[in-house]
Amino acid sequence: MLTDTACADTGLGASASSHFKVMLVNKTADEMWVVLVRLREGRSYSELVAHIAAEQRRIQAREALAGPQISLIDSIQSRVVDAGSEQALEIDLTAGTYALVCDRATAQPAAGAPGRIAAIFVAGPFRVP
């Protein structure tokens, strides 16, 4: 679930089945861009959290984003969820550690902002055995 201040993985838990099904709920007035990512072998969730926190600082400072860290994650599936709506995400996953990266994308960027992303959050991790 995306709110103005967080992306929460309510009810997801630390482990998930290989048949992954989740309802993406957007409680904001903006678009929600969600990317299901798989951490690359040998990489940690804390590294992803640090990267997303640095991106959030860039957004607040109205600086260009660094973008996805391809040495850290593989993008598995993405969705755009309209303001105030919800959408199912269902996919078969292989073993690994996963997270959801949620962007809040505004139609009216703030003055001086480098793009539409107004906030970025991460939810997880969850492991598929």
Q: What is the CATH number of the domain that holds 123?
A: 2.60.40
Within a domain: 7: no
The DSSP line for 79-93 is: EEE-TT-EEEEEEE-
Q: Is residue 53 part of a domain?
A: yes
pLDDT of 13 higher than 90: no
pLDDT of residue 63: 92
Domain boundaries, position 57: 19-128
- At 76-118, the pLDDT tens digits run 999 999 999 999 999 999 999 999 999 999 988 878 887 899 9
Residues near 104 by beta carbon (within 8 Å), at least 6 away in sequence = 2, 4, 28, 30, 31, 32, 117, 118, 119, 120, 121
- pLDDT at 82 (0 to 100): 96
CA distance 30 to 49: 23
Q: Does the pLDDT of residue 122 top 80, yes or no?
A: yes
Count of structural domains, the chain: 1
The structure's pTM equals: 0.90
In Å, what is the CA distance from 6 to each residue of 87, 118, 121?
18, 12, 6
- Whether 121 is covered by a domain: the verdict is yes
Helix (H) or strand (E) holding 99: strand 96-105
Say whether pLDDT at 26 is over 90.
Answer: yes
Whether 9 is in a domain gets the answer no
